[in-house]
Structure 1
Amino acid sequence: MAVRTPRDGRPLDLHRLRQFLAVAEHNGFTSAAAELHLTQQALSAAIAQLERQLRVALFDRSGRTLNLTPAGAVLRDGARALLAAAATLAEQTHEAGTASPRPFVIGHTPAITAEEVYLLLAPVRDQLPTASLTARQVFPSALAPALYDGEIDLALRRGVAMPPDLVSAIIAYDPVRVAVDSNHRLAARTELHIGDLRDESVIVWAPAGHSFYTDFLLSNYRRAGFEPNFVVNRIQGTPPITAVVGNDHIAFVTAPAGPALGGRVTVIDLTDPPLAPTQALWLPHTVSRIRDLLTVQRG
């Protein structure tokens, strides 16, 4: 008799995966069982059955606390995306049979403006003119949870790192410019070199090491031979150009050059500007015509 292996075609039970994920997230059976409205004995038996199917231990039970094994960590990372994809498929199937499907929701970080999202939507507007679309600003740390929970269908951020349990693609590059208050000493300039900014304080939305965009700016400063003076913006969630109103700081933005915010801000071109990437993130194992139009590689 052949021994079954995980590749023999036995599909993973989504219900059992959800149970496993609850135990992994709670680091134990007690809270997970309460959340799932199960007894601890029933939940423990379900996890043991899953371990027998996969022929590996998912939890290390040797200590006082329950810890994931390396195999369990792999399953946890994949289970979250797989469960979210299954929920998305169920919703898409339902919507296909309704007259009024919900809008396709795009979450974008504050580093990408609503105007930039609108421009990225051009292929969808051209080819799917009746599609219902919604753009929603989401802080970077909330993008992945919003995808898993089905609150958004696509995430846009400034970044290049490949998340382990999401699919990603760079869909655009935007030249970076400098924004200053219109009373700033640099406001009369029509073009700046990064070396002209050596003595300027730069407003960012997160410190270095906590934001790709900040690290991206830091690398460009170091390439020019000096260290920037970063100041973290106290007002979060507003368009990037607003950060310089009423102060002597500068901000790096992707807004067009010229007056902005009713003339209160001036955006100045940089010579040889860095190109800031726009990265799209979405759930694996999902399909979407709208997403395909947005994420096609642009030449």
Structure 2
Amino acid sequence: MRDLDLRRLRMFVEVVEAPSLRVAAERLFISQQALSAAIRDLERQLGVELFSRSRRSLTPTPAGKALYEGAVPLLAGGAHLASEVRLIDASNPDPYTIGHTPGLAPSEVFEIIEGAVLADPSLPITVRPLSPSAIREEILGGNIDLALARSREVPPDLAGATATRHKLRLAVNAHHPLAANPTCAMKDLESCQIVVSELEEDYVNMLVSYCRRAGFEPKIIASTLRGTPPHMAVITHPEACAFVTNQPGWLYGNQIRIVEFDDPPMTPVMALWLPNTAPRIRNLILDAVGVSVETELI
């Protein structure tokens, strides 16, 4: 069988995503007849029907849905490869962009990339905040090259590996009862509210699982703050506590106490990227933190 024609594959994706064949053809700047012919050629090549056809719409068949799910990251990978090749030939390449979710402090991101940066200080790297819900879209769209998030899940059309793990601690307001404790147990949170960012659903689910393993159902409340470190939530929610990765001790003019757990849970930091790509900078970063992509893929 001939290799897939990426041009026809892109046409197929446009037909799936557009509200009609006419709109898809307009977006591709070709006629409806040419687009229909291209889809038919793709179906003949694969030996399957990709759409259930009616007078009003084209509905992907199960085979069409499977092709679409694989085509989106494949086309993104092709664009990424073309960009990578052009950058190698450029005297002033665009930076390698890393997005990180709010649960990760910029200093924690630097710890992950530090080894690669020290090995080659000339690496052009840009780090910026990223909404957890935007990870897939930003990577597939080529806006970021690597995402770092507190997560255990990898979207089905992305690749990923655990970059590192951080010890969780507890942030409480200075007036909270647990602020006087040198350490605490997870079970001590049974009667406490736990304030979280509602933006990071997977991370929240992970925290809930830690509490359930300790034998209780947590009382979760959503933080009203956006764009500030997680420990600051206990200033606006003084009755609640928050899971953090700060070092133990006092913060914010002794208004916040970071308390160690007797048996601290470890939270993973997941690195996410386009599958079937191997950019040099990403490999340098993962090698420096001891991640073997071949063995650590999730």
TM-score higher than 0.5:
yes
Three-state SS of the structure 1 residue aligned to 2:161 is strand
The CA deviation at 1:118 is 0.7
Q: Is the 8 A contact 2:234 2:256 kept in 1?
A: yes
Three-state SS of the structure 1 residue aligned to 2:276 is coil
Taking the aligned partners of 1:151 and 1:113, their CA distance within structure 2 comes to 21
Q: Where does residue 210 of structure 2 map in the other structure?
A: 220
Q: Where does residue 284 of structure 2 map in the other structure?
A: 293
* Match 1:122 to one of 114, 117, 124: 114
Three-state SS of the structure 2 residue aligned to 1:251 is strand
Taking the aligned partners of 2:236 and 2:255, their CA distance within structure 1 comes to 9
Taking the aligned partners of 2:57 and 2:94, their CA distance within structure 1 comes to 43
Q: Where does residue 264 of structure 2 map in the other structure?
A: 273
Taking the aligned partners of 1:157 and 1:216, their CA distance within structure 2 comes to 12
Q: Percent identity?
A: 41
* Match 1:236 to one of 210, 226, 230: 226
Deviation sequence 1:110-162 (CA, Å, 0-9, x none): 11111110111122122221102111111111011111111111011122223
Q: Is the 8 A contact 1:33 1:43 kept in 2?
A: yes
Q: Is the 8 A contact 1:259 1:266 kept in 2?
A: yes
Taking the aligned partners of 1:226 and 1:146, their CA distance within structure 2 comes to 37
Taking the aligned partners of 1:289 and 1:116, their CA distance within structure 2 comes to 22
**Aligned AA for 1:238?**
T
Deviation sequence 1:162-191 (CA, Å, 0-9, x none): 322111111111111111223333223221
Unaligned runs of 5+ in 2: 292-298
Q: Where does residue 3 of structure 2 map in the other structure?
A: 11
Q: Where does residue 296 of structure 2 map in the other structure?
A: none
Q: Where does residue 21 of structure 1 map in the other structure?
A: 13
TM-score by length of 2: 0.91
| 1:91-170 equivalent positions in 2, closer than 5 A | 91-170=83-162
**Aligned AA for 1:55?**
G
Taking the aligned partners of 1:16 and 1:47, their CA distance within structure 2 comes to 7
Higher helix share: 2
Q: Is the 8 A contact 1:181 1:246 kept in 2?
A: no
Deviation sequence 1:75-100 (CA, Å, 0-9, x none): 11111111111111111111111111
Taking the aligned partners of 1:108 and 1:17, their CA distance within structure 2 comes to 31
Taking the aligned partners of 1:54 and 1:182, their CA distance within structure 2 comes to 65
Q: Where does residue 37 of structure 2 map in the other structure?
A: 45
Q: Is the 8 A contact 2:20 2:58 kept in 1?
A: yes
Deviation sequence 1:210-232 (CA, Å, 0-9, x none): 72211111111111111110001
TM-score by length of 1: 0.90
Q: Is the 8 A contact 2:223 2:233 kept in 1?
A: yes
Q: Is the 8 A contact 2:84 2:279 kept in 1?
A: no
Q: Where does residue 169 of structure 2 map in the other structure?
A: 177
Taking the aligned partners of 1:18 and 1:116, their CA distance within structure 2 comes to 38
The CA deviation at 1:261 is 4.0
Three-state SS of the structure 2 residue aligned to 1:186 is helix
Query: CA distance change for structure 1 residues 53 and 115 in 2, over 3 Å: closer, same or farther?
Result: same
Q: Is the 8 A contact 1:172 1:277 kept in 2?
A: yes
Three-state SS of the structure 2 residue aligned to 1:256 is coil
Query: CA distance change for structure 1 residues 257 and 72 in 2, over 3 Å: closer, same or farther?
Result: same
Taking the aligned partners of 1:82 and 1:13, their CA distance within structure 2 comes to 12
Q: Where does residue 5 of structure 1 map in the other structure?
A: none
Unaligned runs of 5+ in 1: 1-7
Taking the aligned partners of 2:191 and 2:35, their CA distance within structure 1 comes to 61
Q: Where does residue 284 of structure 1 map in the other structure?
A: 275
Bigger Cα displacement from structure 2, 168-177 vs 158-167 = 158-167
The CA deviation at 1:38 is 2.2
RMSD, matched Cα: 1.9
Equivalenced residues, count: 289
